[in-house]
Every structure is written in structure tokens, then in C-alpha cells.
Amino acid sequence: MNTRKLGSKVMHWLGLTAAGVLLAASAHAAGITATKHNLSTTGTGTNHVTTGTDQICVFCHTPHGSNTSAAVPLWNKNIPTTATYQLYSTLNTSSLNGEVLAVGSVSMACLSCHDGTQAMDNMMNAPGAGGFNASGARPAGWVWTGANQTAGSLTGAITNLGADLKNDHPIGIAYCGGGLTGAAGVVSGTCADGDFISPAIASTSDGRTATFKTATINTNQVFWIDLDASGTRGKADINLYTRTFAAGANRPSVECGSCHDPHVESKGSDNVMFMRVTTAASKICLSCHVK
Ligand code: HEC
Ligand code: HEC
Ligand code: HEC
Ligand code: HEC
């Protein structure tokens, strides 16, 4: 073996090792355990229980007896019907194009804590035997700590979005002004608002490849913006959620989960806030808006 070959072998080995170390490091950093969404007794964020449970998922999901009143994944909480949400669209900015739906979809799941109207340990199926309550209830004797909550409900800080969503980025809004539909992997229609990643625009204005994708999974039409060129939906992509607009069923909508992944707090050094794409250089915004 000549030195060049040996060199390349060493480089190869080093490369693999470095990748291995990176993987191990990011796998560790990516976990929900170290985030503000660990509300269990092991939580290290501002708010969590000091007496209750060391289970993490149970504050949001249950394997059995979940809430089926909205399209939310195995949701373990009551979904507030008392809150009357005020929508961004009621500000009537002259530039808004897309139809806006009542708050629903996955955004309801986020707001079942973030509108501040109900305790974060409201559960339909609390840990252990006999913990089921169809309308959702707080397990007895749980104790909360943290400056941004009162008796387990978010309060005070900006993380309590409240029911007034006029001052928040629109949600339940048709993607790109509406128009796009999907069938069997084909996206058709034109955007009413052309300044968005779409079948016609396949790269971000900061030069990343971004492909608007759709597919039928089971009988559900799904939409996403593929940012890692994998062709399949993944953690690095922007999720759009399927909802029914006046123009028809199966249309892509922007919801809280389009920008946020509630399980991963950080995707870059200046990037907390559970973003799907880093906020550095506004990459998250430019993953949809072509500006
Ligand atoms: C603070 C609330 C919260 C906690 C805690 C939480 N999740 Fe989730 N999870 C959500 C929400 C909201 C969604 C839907 C968001 C979306 O569309 O990706 C979701 C979606 C999921 C999904 C389907 C989408 C995906 O990302 O694969 C799985 C699987 C999942 N959660 C597993 C877990 C597990 C396992 C735990 C505990 C280790 C956990 N979650 C803890 C809120 C939470
Ligand atoms: C079970 C209650 C609960 C649910 C459900 C929940 N959150 Fe949170 N979230 C919290 C708590 C508690 C905090 C920390 C608040 C604080 O310290 O002020 C938080 C913080 C956040 C933050 C700020 C993180 C930071 O770095 O400061 C974001 C962003 C967020 N949540 C988004 C979401 C989104 C999006 C969803 C739905 C996909 C969601 N959350 C669902 C309880 C919840
Ligand atoms: C269009 C993208 C987008 C959508 C949709 C979105 N967010 Fe955010 N959100 C962000 C960004 C970006 C930040 C980080 C802001 C910052 O760095 O101050 C953020 C921050 C937050 C925070 C922390 C607030 C703060 O400044 O400390 C919470 C809580 C939150 N989002 C919850 C939600 C919930 C709940 C929804 C749905 C009702 C939602 N978000 C929808 C982009 C979005
Ligand atoms: C998931 C895709 C997506 C992401 C990511 C996103 N937006 Fe949006 N945004 C939209 C859509 C769709 C609309 C509604 C546009 C319309 O119908 O005119 C919108 C609306 C807006 C509006 C209001 C426009 C008006 O006419 O009132 C502003 C401002 C805006 N976004 C800024 C941002 C910023 C800043 C970020 C990053 C923090 C961001 N957006 C991230 C999809 C997105």
C-alpha cells in the first residue's frame, strides 16, 4: 500500500469515527428528556412536577384511551372547547391571501397547554391502573414548580400564548394562499400566493434544495417540504397538515407543528424553541417563504 492509499484509508477511518462521534453526540442532544417538554420529576426546564411521575410522554400521549376529538396523535389530554380563539386573520392585513380555518388539527394539541386555560397535568389516562378519566382530570396530589405556571397551568410568560392568537404567526391557514392539492404523489394546482416553495419553485432563496411533496399514506393525503432530498417525510422537513378548506378537502395547512417539533429542543447552537429548521439566518422562515 502506498502512502496515498494509506492516507486515504486513515482519512476514511477518521471520517467514520468523526461521523460516529457526531451521531452519538446529536442522538444524545436530540432527546426530549433534556428539553422544556420534560414535565416529569426529572425535568430541568422552568416548569415541571416535583411530586407526580417520572414518565415524560404521559403528559401528552397515552398508548390506550386517547382523545379522538381531533386529528392528534394518541393525545392524552382534554382539548379545551371553552377557549374562543381570536385569529391572526381578524387583524385584516391587506396582504393575507389564504383562507383561515377555525383552530384545529395538531395546533389544538399544542394549545391544550399553551393557551393557558388548563393544567398541563390534565390527563385522560394517568399512569398506573385505574387512572382513566374520559373527560380528562388532574391526578391527585401532583405538585408543580416553576415561575411560568400556576397550579400547573402556563401563565405570565410569552410561552402562554393565550386564546388571543392575533399576535401570532397564522395557523390553520392554507399554504401558499391556497390552490395546491395532491393525488397519488402528484401535486397540482397553482399557488394564489406565488412567494412560496411549490411545484414551481424548488429551492429556497438562500440556496437550499426544497421540494414540495405529497403522498397518500393509508387513505390520508399528506404534504411536506422536503429539505434533505430524501423524498420521504422526516425530522429535517417542514410538515404541512391535511385539512378541508372551502376549495375542497385534502389541502395543506400551516399549523404549530409545521415549524415546531415538540420533541427536539435544539437543532443548532443559537436554535432552541423546538424548531424543525434552525432559526439561524432565518432558515426556518425561508423554508416556506421565498423572500
Ligand atoms: C409536550 C407534549 C409532548 C410530549 C411530552 C411528547 N410528545 Fe410526542 N407528540 C406531541 C405532539 C403535539 C405531536 C404531533 C406533532 C407532529 O405532528 O409531529 C407528537 C407526535 C408524536 C409522534 C408522531 C410523530 C413523530 O414525530 O414521529 C410520536 C411517535 C411521538 N409523538 C412519540 C412521543 C414519545 C415516545 C414521547 C415520550 C418520550 C413523546 N412523544 C412526548 C407532543 C408531545
Ligand atoms: C403538556 C403541556 C405542553 C404541551 C402539550 C406543549 N407544550 Fe410547549 N411547553 C410546555 C412548557 C411547560 C414549556 C416551558 C414554558 C416556560 O418555561 O415558560 C413549553 C415550551 C415551549 C416552547 C419554548 C421553548 C423554549 O426553548 O423556550 C415552544 C416553542 C413550545 N413549547 C412549543 C410547543 C408546540 C409547538 C407544541 C405542540 C406541537 C407544544 N409546545 C405542546 C408545555 C407544553
Ligand atoms: C411559521 C412558523 C411558526 C408557527 C406556525 C408557530 N411558531 Fe411558535 N415559534 C416560531 C419561531 C421561529 C419561534 C422562536 C421565536 C424566538 O426565537 O423568539 C417560536 C417560538 C414559540 C414559543 C416560545 C415563545 C418565546 O418567544 O419564548 C412558543 C411557546 C411557541 N412558539 C408555540 C407555538 C404554538 C403553540 C404554535 C401554534 C399555535 C406555534 N408556536 C406556531 C415559529 C412558529
Ligand atoms: C410552514 C411554512 C411557513 C413557515 C416556516 C413560515 N411561514 Fe410565514 N406564512 C406562511 C403562510 C402559508 C402564510 C399565509 C400567507 C398568505 O396567505 O398570504 C404566512 C404568513 C406570514 C406573514 C403574514 C402575511 C400577511 O399578509 O399578513 C408573515 C409576516 C410571515 N408569515 C412571516 C414569517 C416569518 C418571519 C417566519 C419565520 C419566523 C415564517 N413566516 C415562517 C407559511 C410559513
Residue 78 alpha carbon to ligand 3 centre in Å: 22
For residue 130, what pLDDT band results from cuts at 50, 70 and 90? very high
Residue of the CA atom closest to atom 33 of ligand 1: 57
Neighbouring residues of 242: CB distance < 8 A, sequence distance ≥ 6: 220, 221, 222, 223, 250, 251, 252, 253
Q: Determine contact, residues 122/78, Cβ cutoff 8 Å.
A: yes
Atom nearest to 279 CA in ligand 3: 12
pLDDT in tens, 161-212: 999 999 999 999 999 999 999 887 789 999 999 999 999 999 999 999 999 9
pLDDT in tens, 233-250: 998 899 999 999 999 999
Mean pLDDT over 103-125 rounds to 96
pLDDT in tens, 42-75: 999 999 999 999 999 999 999 999 999 999 999 9
Residues in contact with ligand 4 by the CB-under-6-Å rule are: 93, 95-98, 169-170, 173, 175-177, 193, 238, 254, 258-259, 284-285, 287-289
State how far Cα 96 lies from the chain centre: 23
Residue 87 alpha carbon to ligand 1 centre in Å: 25
Residues in contact with ligand 3 by the CB-under-6-Å rule are: 107, 110-111, 114, 158-159, 161, 169, 171, 254, 256, 258-260, 273, 279, 284
Atom nearest to 282 CA in ligand 4: 37
Tallying the residues shown for the chain, one arrives at: 291
Q: Is 106 in the pocket of ligand 1 (CB under 6 A)?
A: yes
Nearest to 71 by CA among 241, 250, 279, 274: 241
Q: Is 33 in the pocket of ligand 2 (CB under 6 A)?
A: no
Percentage, residues of the chain above pLDDT 90: 79
The pTM (predicted TM-score) of the whole model is 0.93
pLDDT in tens, 259-276: 999 998 877 666 789 999
In the prediction, which pLDDT does 270 show?
Answer: 65
Q: Provide the residue ranges of all domains of the chain, joining segments of one domain with +.
A: 3-30, 173-286
Report CA Rg, the chain. Answer: 21
For residue 83, what pLDDT band results from cuts at 50, 70 and 90? confident
Q: Determine contact, residues 238/227, Cβ cutoff 8 Å.
A: yes
